[in-house]
Chain A
Amino acid sequence: MTTDIVLQQLLNGLTLGSTYALIALGYTMVYGIIQLINFAHGDVYMIGAFVGLTMVVVFGINIWAALFVAMIACVLVAMTIERVAYRPLRRSTRLAPLISSIGVSIFLQTLMTSMKGPQPVGFPQVVSNTIYTIGPVKIALVQIIILLVAAALMIALQLIVKRSKIGKAMRATSEDYDTASLMGVNVNRVISFTFAIGAALAAAGGVLIGMYFNSVFPLMGVMAGLKAFCAAVVGGIGSIPGAVIGGLFIGVAEVFGVAMGLGSYKDAIAFALLILVLLIKPTGILGQPIQRKV
């Protein structure tokens, strides 16, 4: 591989990785607050892609409005899921909401399959196929949009978590659920808000991927969700910057794996990395060492 091809592949990897990162943030935030691995999260991403597609195709609105509507729709979906499938199980064993989330995941997949059919649906060409040349690298307009939107959303998330009052409440709930509750934090509202933010990011990821790959289908959330989950764990589950780093890392690794002729093992790369990271640094790249409370 020559240098310009390496740079070009790096760009492909970062584009793919930034969408993984958007999904991974939802996993990591929910885990950080209620220690739940929300397996339905990948399917929320899929719903986001379908809502965006419907907005563009059926209602003919522009892509930015479609992105916004998809985010709002997924916020409502995720808050409903949290209220119906997780909140009643909050005080039961940790396994119960996990199983419940798998149930929700299968429900959403089959619902969309029965509505839209199993075949991929084409995503119309919403941005022009302009290609810019920057030094040795060619970058398509759609890649620029994906990278900028993903970066903007991640910065916004960081500001919400670090600067806003609800962000402070989230951090407090994450540190100690019961104490936060005793200090007057409305933990139900905080948890609901966390699901909402995660879903909005995933929905954005879904619409961006739809634009980039030009197709959406009901099972698209399965592999993307699993890889994003790996990204969250690789980066250190519970850590927001960790999820971003993990997502980019897995995206780049996958693209270079394919470029080196490991195309058949494309999906295995993320999981191999997961195993490797868990063996070397079990808490992930930016994970905090677990402290047992006495």
Chain B
Amino acid sequence: MRRSKLLSMMILVLFVAAIFAGCGGGNQTPAPADETVKIGFLGAKTGGHASYGIETLKGMKMAADDVNAAGGILGGKKLVIVEEDHGSKDDQAASVTQKMITQGTVAIVGDPTTGFTKIAGPIAQGAGVVLMSAGAVGEGVVEIGDFIYRDTLLDKVGAPLVAKYLASELGWKKVVLVTSTNNDYSVGLSKLFRDGLAANNIEIIAEQTIQDSDQNFSAQVTSFSNKDFDGIVFTGYYTEGGLLMKEVRKQGLDHVMVGGDGLLAPVLWELGEDAVEGSMVYTGFAADPANASPKTLAFIDAYKAKNGGTLPDMFSAQGYDAVMLLVDAIEAAGSAAPAEFKETLKVTSNWEGVTGTISFGPDREPIKSPVYLLEVKDSEFSVKATIDL
């Protein structure tokens, strides 16, 4: 009897301790609510998506530093980034979102992935807090509600621009389109390329299908090996992209491949070796100091100074822009109430950020310019062209 009483006491103590431990998470000194504006960071600092989250947060902090150094927001209030870590776990994403909302954030930046944004979206929408995803590209994100935004390059903007570039700058007239049929991203991107290529008078002379995790592409490549065409559009991921190009070279063809950021990983040339040299990939941002605008160059230099000379990636740049977009919308509305500044955010047009120009269309989807077209050169991505809208 005594024993069990002791046990239940101990459990009670543990519970209380756990509750207090949970409260210690937000690690900034509390300031009176009216002197700060809080923007939350939703993302992973640990786990499988940590590399996206950490970079997004770096960009956000740089933006907050810049805003505060220039005198703060709404006439002198301090901009505070409330950071949390959902550890790449989707059950954590929901509770972290909830927690940031109760801490009084007016907007949340994140998550860089579509899946987690879709978990956090309905919570933010329900609470009337603006959520700006700095990375989600999938379907059904802004459809969650009028508080939900994103500042990423969408394939429906990118693919037609790349098609235009292929036709006007490279003079392509005929292509082969290869789709990975068990990959939603690839099927969707192929659809966009079909329209984009047709609009630019590029004929698809052959379509082939593969599947993710396929190893053997000999039959597909042989099917178009005796045809006359200018290049291969492949909409899948880097693994299959590298192996596909190996097979293309093995059959004596010297064409190059074009694809979306599904190809954007070193695995492309680790598997593809020489065969992917000259292949092209488009993306929303790439650090290109030689051709950057003054604003972008300032960001690249500041990032390099803070990170031992490494160049910023797409996620840090989009994190920076997400905070700046929100700050400008808050300033324009003259209020940090989400219901008010979401209206000024909605009419953002030709806004200059470090990743380029952003406008929100009537469907609140971002329209970004330029698109960065990268080329594999000596087993590295280098910027081949920036394509303006």
Identify the A interface with B (CB < 8 A): 2, 4-5, 8-9, 12-13, 15-16, 119-120, 122, 124-125, 129, 131, 138, 140, 142, 209, 212-215, 220, 254-256, 258-259, 261, 263-264, 266
Contact = CB atoms under 8 A, between A and B. Distances in A.
B226 interface: yes
A259 B270 contact: no
Interface residues of B, number: 29
A266 B218 CA distance: 13
A255 B247 CA distance: 14
A44 B293 CA distance: 56
Interface SS of chain A: helix
A214 B243 contact: yes
Contacts of A122: 242, 270-271, 273
Contacts of A13: 219
A90 B289 CA distance: 69
A13 B243 CA distance: 18
Given A4-B226, A264-B181, A258 B219 contact: yes
15 contacts: A5-B225, A5-B226, A120-B243, A122-B270, A125-B273, A131-B250, A138-B225, A138-B252, A140-B251, A142-B250, A214-B246, A214-B271, A256-B219, A263-B220, A264-B211
A259 B224 CA distance: 10
B211 A12 contact: no
B167 interface: no
A111 to B, nearest CB: 20
Contacts of A9: 219, 222-223
B209 interface: yes
Given A138-B251, A259-B222, 16 more contacts: A5-B222, A12-B222, A119-B239, A120-B215, A131-B250, A140-B251, A209-B215, A213-B215, A215-B239, A254-B219, A255-B219, A256-B219, A263-B181, A263-B210, A263-B211, A264-B182
A176 B182 CA distance: 48
Contact of B271 (A5, A215, A264): A215
Given A8-B225, A214-B271, A215-B271, A255 B243 contact: no
B222 A119 contact: no
A125 B246 CA distance: 10
A281 B267 CA distance: 46
A259 B271 contact: no
Contacts of A12: 218-219, 222
B208 interface: yes
A142 to B, nearest CB: 7
